[in-house]
Structure 1
Amino acid sequence: MIIIEPRVRQLLVEDALNTFPDECCGFLFGREEHDGTRLVVDILVVDNSKEGDKTRRFEISPQDYMAAEAHALDHDWTLLGIYHSHPKHPAIPSETDRLAAQPYFSYVIVSVMDKDTIELRSWLLNDERQFEEEQILDYIYS
């Protein structure tokens, strides 16, 4: 399970809308609880470094990966995963997404069909290197 703070959810949606019709991308930061629940408290927006058509693919540069690791260390957070958008496509990982995915990471996909139709879904690789949906829970203020 993954919990995305409302402020962070808004940042994800804003990045996807601002980048539309291209794919946006970035990193998810937070902590993992003892029960395995992940709490996402921040993101790091990065440029889609894919050469050519960015409407159907994204790429994150090695320098941005290193910056994300440093960002996590600087804030005493865990790098929990990656997010990206699917402009005019459902929030379901593609085969390209699966082949590039790493174990442990959560992969949040923001589907943007139009300005009013936005969906967030999260995915994890299983032991057979297939994606399984990770339930997104509502954030509860305590």
Structure 2
Amino acid sequence: DAYPEEGCGFLLGTVTDDGTNRVTALHRAANRHAENRERRYELTADDYRDADAAAQDQGLDVVGVYHSHPDHPARPSETDLEEATFPGYTYVIVSVHDGTPEDLTAWTLAPDRSAFYREEIDVHAPETA
């Protein structure tokens, strides 16, 4: 519902034994970019602290970040690469066209922060008691 601006937030979950990020919850954050929110997003140190606290309350960790690309493909931009800071995080991008989500992709940042590599997305129905 951030459209036409970029929406953003955090992926909460666990890291499996094989190093895969398993996302089980989202923590929404405000887009704090000072201008051009239609093409940029910004998360502050306070946002990261709030997300970490929310994750800990649920027995989880912050395992990544998500944001939307209004009327653009769900691929990392050069700005996304320049501003990504955490190798090992999952970076999810959702393309939104005319207010409707259309595509979702996941990426991981190379250890030297030089590139993103596409991650496979495996969606499971929530477990019920």
TM-score exceeds 0.5:
yes
Coordinate RMSD, CA, aligned: 1.6
2:3 is the alignment partner of 1:20: yes
* Offset from partner CA, 1:14-56 (integer Å, 9 cap, x none): xxxx111100000000111112232211111111001111000
Q: Which structure 2 residues correspond to residues 1-142 of structure 1 after superposition, within 5 A?
A: 18-101=1-84, 102-116=86-100, 118-129=102-113, 130-139=115-124
Q: Looking at secondary structure, tell me which structure has more helix per residue.
A: 1
When normalised by structure 2's length, the TM-score is 0.89
Percent of residue pairs identical: 41
Give, as a single letter, the amino acid of the residue that structure 2 aligns with 1:99. Answer: E
Give, as a single letter, the amino acid of the residue that structure 2 aligns with 1:87. Answer: P
Give, as a single letter, the amino acid of the residue that structure 1 aligns with 2:22. Answer: L
Distance 1:29 1:82 in 2: 9
Give, as a single letter, the amino acid of the residue that structure 2 aligns with 1:113. Answer: H
Question: Between Structure 1 and Structure 2, how many residues are aligned?
Answer: 125
Unaligned runs of at least 5 residues, structure 2: none
User: Does the 8 Å contact 2:4/2:99 carry over to 1?
Assistant: no
How far 1:116 moved relative to its partner? 4.8
Using CA pairs under 8 Å that are at least 6 residues apart, name the structure with larger relative contact order, 1 or 2: 1
2:28 is paired with a residue whose SS is strand
User: Does the 8 Å contact 2:105/2:118 carry over to 1?
Assistant: yes
1:43/1:117 CA distance change after superposition, 3 Å: closer
Unaligned runs of at least 5 residues, structure 1: 1-17
User: Does the 8 Å contact 2:3/2:99 carry over to 1?
Assistant: no
